[in-house]
Amino acid sequence: MVKSSVLGFPRIGGQRELKKITESYWGGKTSKEELLKVGKELREHNWKLQKEAGVDIIASNDFSYYDQVLDLSLLFNAIPERYTKYNLEPIDVLFAMGRGLQRKATDSHPAIDVTALEMVKWFDSNYHYVRPTFSHSTEFKLNTPIKPVDEYNEAKALGIETRPVLLGPISYLYLGKADKDSLDLEPISLLPKILPIYKELLAKLREAGATQVQIDEPVLVLDLPENVQSKFQQAYEELGEDLILTTYFGDVRPNLKAIENLPVAGFHFDLVRVPEQLDAVAKLGKPLSVGVVDGRNIWKTDFAKAAKIVESAIEKVGEGNVVVATSSSLLHTPVDLDSEEKLDPVIKDWFSFAKQKLDEVVTIAKRVSGEDVGDKFEANAKSIKARNESSITTNPKVQERLTTINESLATRKSAFPERLAEQKAKYNLPLFPTTTIGSFPQTKDIRINRNKFAKGQISAEEYEQFINKEIETVVRFQEEIGLDVLVHGEPERNDMVQYFGEQLDGFAFTTNGWVQSYGSRYVRPPIIVGDVSRPKAMTVKESVYAQSLTKSPMKGMLTGPVTILRWSFPRDDVSGKIQALQLGLALRDEVNDLEKAGITVIQVDEPAIREGLPLRAGKERSDYLNWAAQSFRVATSGVENSTQIHSHFCYSDLDPNHIKALDADVVSIEFSKKDDPNYIREFSEYPNHIGLGLFDIHSPRIPSKQEFVDRIQEILKVYPADKFWVNPDCGLKTRGWPEVKESLTNMVNAAKDFRGKY
């Protein structure tokens, strides 16, 4: 019999139970015991759900209160000293590393003020992990509680045998970084120190009864230097033969020599993303877990196509050596399609969420094992055919407009120096101009009124009056503290992608389709189901109203085409390039309408442009950079020289070349948690203007004015003053008003201090 396997299940809960209890704990409204209780209930529910679905190999240690990589740092004692001196409980150390901690002194507790560790994208997904941070003084050891062992035993007590999941040592070190006091340290050099800790942990799992461990080495799909490739043999000769070495998100073939002789029990490969690697990996001579059910998207698996891949694997390595699996953890998919009662039934039939994917892996495994699942295969084939033939997916007018795209359409009227001269004359901004990235706090009152409007409990006129009042509050505050380029605060927007998707043709939306982005931040990605177009203006009304309240420049705020694409569930039947260019054309209409309405500073955010970068260098990557930049320029190049185009990027390892081709007049970049001064130097020759983010908006801590001054001074050592904008890392929607007011006031006052010096 061919077995079925799921590499990990969403931990958030079908009704976002994890978010609610975690934020309640952070707010002091819930005890640690209650937090841990809800976590245990979620794990039990997930294991039982998979068991009842008939999944043979169920993962444990796929749960986390914040981030699975951060969990490992806590477990292995990779905890920078600044987090250890306060005698915090382990769960609070975890949260302090993930989101920072600032607490005033009391009679029983000292004052605490620590920033969060750096957070970056998990490969090319929209999930963020907390980067492991090492120094010369890092002393690895196995801390308690020993989470992987505890959770394995927890499942075992329920009568459910699981396969624990660990991030492997090569990936854990390679995805980490040196701390600011040890910048000469290469993390991979710590392998001899960390291997004994892995061995100790694996020994405890075996002692508890685990017969196999899923050990993830996703860095095998990257372009690895030879010194890293060579470490795999060293590591896995020590770790034991009961490991399933697991990769996902890409092609392992360029690194195949690094793993071809490893003494492991088997391998897992992502055959959704790269099915053509099967021939090569089959030659490894080991049992194969074949990832044929997509862990990253919501489209139904084509059973016939997936079964054909599995049957090919069986032919190559034998039936007893094949496992049918999800391509990756299902962390990246919504929990349950059954809860979507408002979806068009025709479109809903095309989708599969995490719960439904359990049945998919089980059904395919049964089919290739010779069991009769003909009814399910027939229903699946009917659904796949219906989608392929549906008129919902095609719009002839959009397809015709795509043919009009040429180099002229994607080029500004003049080069940046000429545009800059006109913009300086028009806006007369001071040195170190200050601005924000766009959103202001989404208060409880905003959410309540949005919900009332959605339910028809207040009229459109009443809702507009409420939104206008919120906009005025934001504008007056910005004027009061002296920001130079203002925003309207986005109170009308539920999400920076969903808001636009709801006003574009070609999208579908869920009610409970939440996916974890980081920590307690969940998103509900729209689903691109067909060709995209803009039926009417989306943002002009609010921007024009905001501009009417002030003489300061008011930014129009849009989300860019690549980010809308990447932060939605994209189509899998047409290329990303086509979808991005369709979005670029729709946004071009919006940009032009904003300019006509008098909004001449327009920000088109592209935080996802780096995450969409193909994981390996080569033609696919260069092609992506070309069409990604082209789609942005299509959206923004129809304006006059004096209209200033901004863009924003965050929480990725950026390269200046990734953004240079966009030709935006001003870009803002997340910078507050970057410790390496070389990162600034990389951008010092960037021709256009840059705002380097000066405080972490994902943390509740408030930087002092002196902290801003010190940060700006460091930047100015390597970055020209006349090109430097001052801004936060990202939008402020997740923060509260008190911390926003104090942080922005300190930021603006620090910028003003420098103006008289240059």
Q: What is the 3-state secondary structure (H, E, C) of 592-640?
A: HHHHHCCCCEEEEECCCCCCCCCCCCCHHHHHHHHHHHHHHHHHHCCCC
Q: Is the peptide bond prior to 145 cis by the omega test (within 30 degrees of 0)? A: yes
The response to whether 730 counts as a known ligand-binding position is yes
Question: For the stretch 322-343, what's the b/e string if a residue is b when 16 or more beta carbons lie within 10 angstroms of its beta carbon?
Answer: bbbbbbbbbbbbbbbbebbeeb
Q: Does residue 437 have a known ligand-binding role? A: yes
| pTM assigned to the model | 0.92
Closest CA to 439 of 502, 528, 521, 512: 521
3-state secondary structure of 646: strand
Per-residue model confidence (pLDDT) at position 693: 87
Residue 28 burial by Cβ neighbours in a 10 Å radius (0-12, 13-18, 19+): exposed
- Residue 671: the pLDDT is 81
Regarding beta strands 162-167 and 133-134, do their DSSP bridges make them parallel or antiparallel, or are they unpaired? Answer: unpaired
Comparing 142-146, 362-366, 747-751, 754-758, the range with the smallest average pLDDT is 754-758
If pLDDT is split at 50, 70 and 90, which confidence band does 734 have? confident
Neighbours of 4 (CB within 10 A): 28
- What pLDDT, on the 0 to 100 scale, is given for residue 653? 64
Q: Which CATH architecture has domain 3-392?
A: Alpha-Beta Barrel (3.20)
Q: 10 Å Cβ neighbour count for 540?
A: 17
Mode of pairing for the β-strands spanning 3-6 and 644-649: unpaired
Whether residue 651 has pLDDT greater than 80: no
The pLDDT assigned to 657 comes to 74
Distance CA(309)–CA(294), nearest Å, equals 13
pLDDT digits (tens, 9 = 90+) for 334-359: 999 999 999 999 999 999 999 999 99
Kindly report the backbone phi and psi dihedral angles of residue 203, in degrees, each rounded to the nearest multiple of 5, phi listed first.
Answer: -60, -40
Indicate the pLDDT class of residue 106, thresholds 50, 70 and 90: confident
Pick the CATH number of 421-494+538-755 from 3.20.20.390, 3.20.20.210, 1.10.220.10, 3.90.1150.10: 3.20.20.210
Instruction: Give yes or no for residue 660 having a pLDDT over 90.
Output: no
Q: Residue 415: its pLDDT value, please? A: 95
Give the list of residues 6+ apart from residue 478 with CB closer than 8 angstroms, or none.
436, 486, 487, 552
For residue 555, name the pLDDT band (cuts at 50, 70, 90).
very high
193 and 175 Cβ atoms separated by less than 8 Å: no
The verdict on whether residue 438 carries a ligand-binding annotation is yes
Mean pLDDT of 503-511: 96
Q: Which of 25-29, 157-161, 610-614, 735-739 has the weakest average pLDDT?
A: 610-614
Nearby residues of 506 by Cβ (< 8 Å), 6 or more positions away: 395, 398, 528, 529, 530, 531, 532, 533, 582
Strand 521-523 and strand 515-518: the pairing is antiparallel
The encoded tokens of residue 350 equal 């095309």
Task: Name the least confident of 359-373, 380-394, 462-476, 690-704.
Answer: 690-704
Cα angle 290, 294, 299; round to 5: 145
pLDDT, tens only, 237-252: 999 889 999 999 999 9
Is the predicted pLDDT of residue 33 greater than 70, yes or no? yes
Which comes out higher in pLDDT, residue 683 or 201?
201
- Summarize the confidence of residues 730-739 as an average pLDDT: 92
**Three-class SS state of 509:** coil
pLDDT number for residue 684: 74
Instruction: Tally Cβ neighbours within 10 Å of residue 172.
Output: 24
Q: What is the DSSP letter of 485?
A: B
Taking residues 178-192, report their average pLDDT: 95
What's the pLDDT at 685?
A: 74
Question: What phi and psi, each to the nearest 5 degrees, are found at residue 673?
Answer: -105, 15
Query: What are the structural domain ranges in the chain?
Result: 3-392, 421-494+538-755
Contact assessment for residue 120 and residue 105, using Cβ atoms and an 8 Å cutoff: no
Residues 133-179: pLDDT tens digits? 999 999 999 999 999 999 999 999 999 999 999 999 999 999 999 99
Strand duo 322-326 + 505-508: pairing: unpaired
**For residue 676, pLDDT beyond 70:** no
Cα angle for residues 422, 427, 428 (degrees, 5° grid): 95
Provide the percentage of residues in the chain whose pLDDT is more than 70: 99
Torsion angle, alpha carbons of 651, 657, 659, 665, to 10: 130
Does 490 belong to an annotated binding site? yes
Query: 710 and 676 in contact (C-beta within 8 Å)?
Result: no
Provide the pLDDT for residue 675: 65
User: Does 648 carry a binding-site annotation?
Assistant: yes
d(CA 65, CA 90): 12
710 annotated to a ligand binding site: no
698 assigned to active site: yes
Cα–Cα dist 670/694, whole Å: 8
- Mean pLDDT over 258-273 rounds to 97
pLDDT confidence of residue 107 = 78
Distance CA 165, CA 308 (A): 28
Report CA-CA distances (Å) from 355 to 8, 314, 569. 12, 26, 17
Tell me which of 268, 646, 658, 698 is the catalytic residue. 698
Q: Average pLDDT of the chain?
A: 95
Query: Does residue 649 sit in helix, strand or coil?
Result: strand
pLDDT band at 758 (very low <50, low <70, confident <90, very high): confident
The answer to whether 558 touches 588, Cβ cutoff 8 Å, is no
What value does the mean pLDDT take over residues 17-40?
97
Task: Answer for the pair 295, 334: CB distance below 8 angstroms, yes or no.
Answer: no
- C-alpha–C-alpha distance, residues 558 and 542, integer Å: 12
